[in-house]
């Protein structure tokens, strides 16, 4: 009887070890760059309504031909609020790039309000209410930003808020290669 109780006491240690293994594994995933599985792969196929007009849908194929900056954002995400004004300025300075917003698991009304009052850096805003597109893109959290080339291949991904410095250091070199 006692020995079986003693066994139960090992449960916390077991859980802890499992968690430690997980954290150890996670430590070596390179957080801020694209996972190798998606790098240089085509953008997943999707067909999503836009935020301002639910009847208009945008497909992955329809976006082909331009270099896309796909930004995954949501009003519930604090860093997205911090990122937004930077994104507005960057998009104003980069007329050749097509900025596509993916409004991730968000409330459409709040998102519309957010864009109306804080400026719209995007050519299109896709709504991803159920988060399916986010999952296919391998989104870990918001904000995340993808660079997609003219043929529709994902070339770069950045996790976290963008500002002008990040843009210059991380995005500009990738984009100049694509040109």
Pairing outcome for strands 68-73 and 57-59: unpaired
Rg of the Cα atoms in the chain: 20
**Stretch near another protein under the rule CB under 8 A, chosen from 52-60, 92-100, 159-167, 168-176:** 159-167
Kindly indicate which of the ranges 31-39, 46-54, 57-65, 120-128 contains the residues binding another protein, using the contact rule CB under 8 A.
Answer: 31-39
Q: What is the DSSP string of 59-71?
A: ETGGGTTS-EEEE
Q: Fill in the per-residue mask, 10 to 29: x = in contact with another protein (CB under 8 A), - = not in contact.
A: x-xx--xx-xx-xxxxxxxx
- Helix (H) or strand (E) segment spanning residue 49: strand 47-49
Contact between 2 and another protein (CB under 8 A)? yes
Residue 79 within binding range of another protein, rule CB under 8 A: yes
Contacting residue, 42, 49, 112, 119, with another protein by CB under 8 A: 119
Using rule CB under 8 A, residue 33 touches another protein? no
Distance between CA atoms of residues 17 and 53, nearest Å: 50
Instruction: Compute the distance between CA of residue 144 and CA of residue 32 in angstroms, rounded to an integer.
Output: 9
Contacts of 23 (CB under 8 A, 6+ apart): none
CB of 69 within 8 A of CB of 149?
no
- Closer by beta carbon to another protein, 27 or else 169: 27
Q: Which is nearer to another protein, 32 or 150 (CB)?
A: 32
Report the interface residues with another protein, using CB under 8 A: 2, 5-6, 9-10, 12-13, 16-17, 19-20, 22-29, 31-32, 35-38, 74, 76-79, 81-82, 85, 88, 105, 113-114, 117-119, 131, 134-135, 138-142, 159-160, 164
């Amino acid at each position: 009887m006692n020995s079986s109780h003693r066994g139960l006491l090992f449960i916390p240690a077991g859980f802890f070890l499992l968690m430690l293994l997980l954290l150890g594994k996670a430590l070596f995933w390179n957080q801020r760059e694209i996972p190798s599985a998606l790098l240089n792969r085509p953008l997943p196929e999707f067909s999503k309504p836009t935020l301002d007009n639910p009847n208009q849908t945008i497909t992955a194929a329809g976006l082909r031909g331009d270099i896309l900056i796909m930004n995954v954002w949501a009003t519930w995400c604090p860093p997205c609020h911090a990122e937004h004004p930077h994104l507005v300025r960057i998009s104003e300075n980069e007329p050749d790039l097509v900025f596509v917003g993916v409004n991730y698991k968000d409330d459409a009304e709040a998102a519309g309000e957010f864009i109306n009052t804080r400026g719209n850096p995007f050519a299109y805003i896709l709504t991803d209410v159920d988060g399916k597109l986010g999952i296919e893109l391998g989104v870990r959290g918001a904000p995340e930003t993808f660079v997609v080339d003219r043929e529709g291949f994902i070339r770069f991904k950045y996790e976290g808020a963008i500002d002008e410095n990040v843009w210059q250091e991380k995005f500009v070199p990738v984009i100049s290669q694509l040109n």
